[in-house]
Amino acid sequence: MSQKILIILFIFLHCQVILASDPDPVQDFCIAHEAESGLNLQCKNSSLATVEDFVFSGVKSPGKFSETGLSATSVNSKIFPGLNTLGMSFVRADLEPGGINPPHFHPRATEIVFVLEGKVYSGFVDTQNRVFSRVIEKGEVMVFPRGLLHFQMNVGYERATILGSFDSQNPGLQRIANAVFGSGIEEGLLEKAFGLSPKELAKLRRKFASEHKE
Protein backbone atom coordinates (compact mmCIF):
# COMPACT_ATOMS: atom_id res chain seq x y z
CA MET A 1 0.00 0.00 0.00
CA SER A 2 1.49 3.33 -1.04
CA GLN A 3 2.27 6.12 1.40
CA LYS A 4 -0.35 8.35 -0.27
CA ILE A 5 -3.10 5.78 0.26
CA LEU A 6 -2.05 5.30 3.88
CA ILE A 7 -2.27 9.06 4.47
CA ILE A 8 -5.75 9.24 2.91
CA LEU A 9 -6.89 6.26 5.01
CA PHE A 10 -5.53 7.86 8.19
CA ILE A 11 -7.33 11.16 7.47
CA PHE A 12 -10.60 9.31 6.76
CA LEU A 13 -10.43 7.32 10.00
CA HIS A 14 -9.45 10.42 11.97
CA CYS A 15 -12.44 12.33 10.58
CA GLN A 16 -14.74 9.45 11.46
CA VAL A 17 -13.62 9.67 15.10
CA ILE A 18 -14.04 13.44 15.22
CA LEU A 19 -17.51 13.39 13.69
CA ALA A 20 -18.76 10.51 15.81
CA SER A 21 -21.52 11.16 18.32
CA ASP A 22 -23.19 8.50 20.45
CA PRO A 23 -22.49 4.98 19.16
CA ASP A 24 -25.05 3.54 16.77
CA PRO A 25 -27.29 0.90 18.36
CA VAL A 26 -26.58 -2.70 17.41
CA GLN A 27 -30.07 -3.97 18.21
CA ASP A 28 -33.65 -2.74 17.98
CA PHE A 29 -33.61 -1.32 21.51
CA CYS A 30 -31.82 -1.68 24.83
CA ILE A 31 -34.14 -0.83 27.69
CA ALA A 32 -32.00 0.05 30.68
CA HIS A 33 -32.51 -1.59 34.03
CA GLU A 34 -34.35 1.09 36.02
CA ALA A 35 -32.26 0.52 39.13
CA GLU A 36 -29.02 1.37 37.34
CA SER A 37 -27.40 4.75 36.87
CA GLY A 38 -24.47 6.13 34.92
CA LEU A 39 -23.62 5.87 31.23
CA ASN A 40 -22.96 2.17 30.65
CA LEU A 41 -26.47 0.90 31.29
CA GLN A 42 -27.18 -2.79 30.85
CA CYS A 43 -30.13 -3.96 28.77
CA LYS A 44 -32.96 -5.88 30.33
CA ASN A 45 -34.25 -8.95 28.53
CA SER A 46 -35.97 -7.73 25.35
CA SER A 47 -38.67 -10.39 25.71
CA LEU A 48 -39.87 -8.53 28.81
CA ALA A 49 -40.38 -5.24 26.94
CA THR A 50 -43.83 -3.65 26.79
CA VAL A 51 -45.16 -0.51 25.14
CA GLU A 52 -44.89 1.26 28.50
CA ASP A 53 -41.10 1.09 28.18
CA PHE A 54 -41.36 3.48 25.23
CA VAL A 55 -43.75 6.05 26.72
CA PHE A 56 -42.86 8.77 29.25
CA SER A 57 -45.50 10.96 30.89
CA GLY A 58 -43.33 13.10 33.15
CA VAL A 59 -43.44 16.27 31.03
CA LYS A 60 -47.19 16.84 30.93
CA SER A 61 -46.82 19.83 33.24
CA PRO A 62 -44.01 22.09 34.54
CA GLY A 63 -41.80 20.99 37.38
CA LYS A 64 -40.49 23.09 40.25
CA PHE A 65 -39.43 26.64 39.35
CA SER A 66 -36.04 28.02 40.36
CA GLU A 67 -35.39 31.54 41.59
CA THR A 68 -34.52 32.51 38.00
CA GLY A 69 -38.07 31.63 36.92
CA LEU A 70 -37.04 28.43 35.14
CA SER A 71 -38.49 24.94 35.36
CA ALA A 72 -36.58 22.34 33.34
CA THR A 73 -37.41 18.65 33.16
CA SER A 74 -34.80 16.54 31.40
CA VAL A 75 -35.88 13.33 29.70
CA ASN A 76 -32.91 11.00 29.46
CA SER A 77 -32.15 7.31 29.82
CA LYS A 78 -31.85 7.59 33.59
CA ILE A 79 -35.53 8.43 33.96
CA PHE A 80 -36.80 7.07 30.62
CA PRO A 81 -35.00 3.71 30.19
CA GLY A 82 -36.39 3.20 26.67
CA LEU A 83 -34.05 5.95 25.39
CA ASN A 84 -30.96 3.95 26.28
CA THR A 85 -28.50 3.59 23.32
CA LEU A 86 -30.73 5.58 20.94
CA GLY A 87 -28.44 8.64 20.89
CA MET A 88 -30.98 11.26 21.84
CA SER A 89 -32.62 13.00 24.80
CA PHE A 90 -35.19 15.70 25.46
CA VAL A 91 -36.09 18.56 27.77
CA ARG A 92 -39.18 20.56 28.64
CA ALA A 93 -38.42 24.07 29.88
CA ASP A 94 -40.96 26.55 31.25
CA LEU A 95 -40.17 30.19 31.93
CA GLU A 96 -42.17 32.58 34.06
CA PRO A 97 -42.56 36.13 32.62
CA GLY A 98 -39.09 37.64 32.91
CA GLY A 99 -37.63 34.23 33.77
CA ILE A 100 -34.29 33.16 32.34
CA ASN A 101 -32.38 30.05 31.42
CA PRO A 102 -28.88 31.31 32.38
CA PRO A 103 -25.93 31.03 29.97
CA HIS A 104 -24.86 27.39 29.70
CA PHE A 105 -23.64 24.83 27.19
CA HIS A 106 -23.89 21.12 26.41
CA PRO A 107 -20.43 19.70 25.64
CA ARG A 108 -21.71 16.57 23.91
CA ALA A 109 -24.79 17.65 21.94
CA THR A 110 -26.39 20.02 19.49
CA GLU A 111 -29.78 21.20 20.75
CA ILE A 112 -32.82 22.21 18.74
CA VAL A 113 -35.64 24.02 20.54
CA PHE A 114 -39.29 24.54 19.61
CA VAL A 115 -41.39 27.27 21.23
CA LEU A 116 -44.67 25.66 22.25
CA GLU A 117 -46.03 28.80 23.93
CA GLY A 118 -44.81 32.34 24.47
CA LYS A 119 -42.10 34.72 23.27
CA VAL A 120 -38.50 33.97 24.15
CA TYR A 121 -35.32 35.97 23.62
CA SER A 122 -32.98 33.19 22.60
CA GLY A 123 -29.44 32.94 21.30
CA PHE A 124 -25.93 31.56 21.38
CA VAL A 125 -22.34 32.86 21.27
CA ASP A 126 -19.75 31.43 18.87
CA THR A 127 -16.02 31.03 19.48
CA GLN A 128 -15.41 34.52 18.04
CA ASN A 129 -17.73 35.96 20.72
CA ARG A 130 -20.40 36.85 18.18
CA VAL A 131 -23.95 36.74 19.53
CA PHE A 132 -26.66 35.19 17.36
CA SER A 133 -29.92 36.09 19.06
CA ARG A 134 -33.50 37.16 18.45
CA VAL A 135 -36.97 36.77 19.90
CA ILE A 136 -38.56 33.51 18.79
CA GLU A 137 -42.29 32.97 19.17
CA LYS A 138 -44.81 30.16 19.29
CA GLY A 139 -44.20 27.71 16.45
CA GLU A 140 -40.61 28.77 15.75
CA VAL A 141 -37.48 26.67 16.06
CA MET A 142 -33.86 27.56 16.85
CA VAL A 143 -30.72 25.44 16.93
CA PHE A 144 -27.74 25.74 19.30
CA PRO A 145 -24.57 24.15 17.84
CA ARG A 146 -22.75 21.64 19.99
CA GLY A 147 -20.64 23.03 22.79
CA LEU A 148 -21.60 26.69 22.27
CA LEU A 149 -22.88 28.86 25.09
CA HIS A 150 -26.58 29.69 24.80
CA PHE A 151 -29.41 31.25 26.80
CA GLN A 152 -33.12 32.13 26.90
CA MET A 153 -35.35 34.74 28.53
CA ASN A 154 -39.15 35.01 28.53
CA VAL A 155 -39.93 38.47 27.16
CA GLY A 156 -43.70 37.97 27.03
CA TYR A 157 -46.41 38.56 29.60
CA GLU A 158 -47.41 34.91 29.94
CA ARG A 159 -45.53 31.76 30.85
CA ALA A 160 -43.43 30.37 27.99
CA THR A 161 -42.87 26.69 27.23
CA ILE A 162 -39.96 25.34 25.19
CA LEU A 163 -39.31 21.79 24.03
CA GLY A 164 -35.69 20.88 23.35
CA SER A 165 -34.15 17.85 21.66
CA PHE A 166 -30.51 16.69 21.81
CA ASP A 167 -28.54 14.42 19.51
CA SER A 168 -26.98 12.62 22.46
CA GLN A 169 -28.16 10.30 25.19
CA ASN A 170 -25.98 12.26 27.61
CA PRO A 171 -25.54 15.87 26.36
CA GLY A 172 -24.02 17.17 29.59
CA LEU A 173 -24.75 20.58 31.10
CA GLN A 174 -22.47 23.30 32.43
CA ARG A 175 -23.90 26.59 33.65
CA ILE A 176 -21.22 29.25 33.31
CA ALA A 177 -21.68 31.00 36.65
CA ASN A 178 -21.90 27.73 38.58
CA ALA A 179 -18.84 26.30 36.85
CA VAL A 180 -16.77 29.40 37.60
CA PHE A 181 -17.98 30.50 41.04
CA GLY A 182 -19.50 27.27 42.36
CA SER A 183 -16.37 25.18 41.88
CA GLY A 184 -13.02 25.16 43.66
CA ILE A 185 -11.07 27.52 41.40
CA GLU A 186 -8.44 29.47 43.36
CA GLU A 187 -9.87 32.72 44.74
CA GLY A 188 -6.90 34.84 43.69
CA LEU A 189 -7.31 33.79 40.08
CA LEU A 190 -11.02 34.66 40.03
CA GLU A 191 -10.41 38.03 41.69
CA LYS A 192 -7.88 38.96 39.01
CA ALA A 193 -9.84 37.48 36.11
CA PHE A 194 -13.07 39.33 36.90
CA GLY A 195 -11.82 42.37 38.82
CA LEU A 196 -13.68 41.30 41.97
CA SER A 197 -12.97 42.18 45.55
CA PRO A 198 -12.69 39.33 48.07
CA LYS A 199 -16.09 40.36 49.49
CA GLU A 200 -17.76 40.33 46.06
CA LEU A 201 -16.22 36.98 45.22
CA ALA A 202 -17.31 35.46 48.53
CA LYS A 203 -20.90 36.55 47.83
CA LEU A 204 -20.88 34.97 44.38
CA ARG A 205 -19.34 31.77 45.72
CA ARG A 206 -22.00 31.42 48.40
CA LYS A 207 -24.75 31.92 45.83
CA PHE A 208 -23.54 29.61 43.10
CA ALA A 209 -21.99 26.95 45.34
CA SER A 210 -25.40 26.48 47.01
CA GLU A 211 -27.12 26.29 43.62
CA HIS A 212 -24.58 23.71 42.47
CA LYS A 213 -25.53 21.41 45.37
CA GLU A 214 -29.24 21.40 44.51
- The CATH number of the domain where 137 resides is what? 2.60.120.10
* DSSP letter string, 105-146: E-TT--EEEEEEESEEEEEEE-TT--EEEEEEETT-EEEE-T
106 in a labelled binding site = yes
CA distance 155 to 96: 9
167 or 24, which is more confident? 167
212 in a labelled binding site = no
pTM over 0.85: no
Range of the domain at 186: 178-212
Region 160-189: mean pLDDT is 94
CA distance 106 to 90: 13
Same domain, 79 and 105: yes
33 in a labelled binding site = no
Same domain, 89 and 113: yes
Same domain, 121 and 199: no
137 in a labelled binding site = no
Among 4-13, 47-56, 81-90, 127-136, the least confident range = 4-13
Q: Is 18 left (phi over 0), alpha (psi -120 to 50) or beta?
A: alpha
- Between CA 19 and CA 170, with CA 146 as vertex, the angle to 5 degrees is 85
Same domain, 103 and 202: no
Among 9-23, 70-84, 160-174, the least confident range = 9-23
Question: For residue 192, what is the enclosing H or E element?
Answer: helix 187-194
Would you say residue 33 lies in a domain? Answer: no
For residues 155 and 175, the answer to whether their CB atoms sit within 8 Å is: no
Would you say residue 91 lies in a domain? Answer: yes
Same domain, 141 and 83: yes
pLDDT per residue as tens digits for the range 72-110: 999 998 889 889 889 999 999 999 999 999 999 999 999
Give residue 7's pLDDT. 52
Domain count, the chain: 2
- Between CA 135 and CA 146, with CA 141 as vertex, the angle to 5 degrees is 100
CB atoms within 10 A of CB 24: 9
Residue 142, class by beta-carbon neighbours within 10 Å (0-12 exposed, 13-18 middle, 19+ buried)?
A: buried
14 in a labelled binding site = no
Same domain, 77 and 134: yes
Would you say residue 1 lies in a domain? Answer: no
For residues 104 and 173, the answer to whether their CB atoms sit within 8 Å is: yes
Same domain, 50 and 150: yes
Would you say residue 15 lies in a domain? Answer: no
Same domain, 139 and 198: no
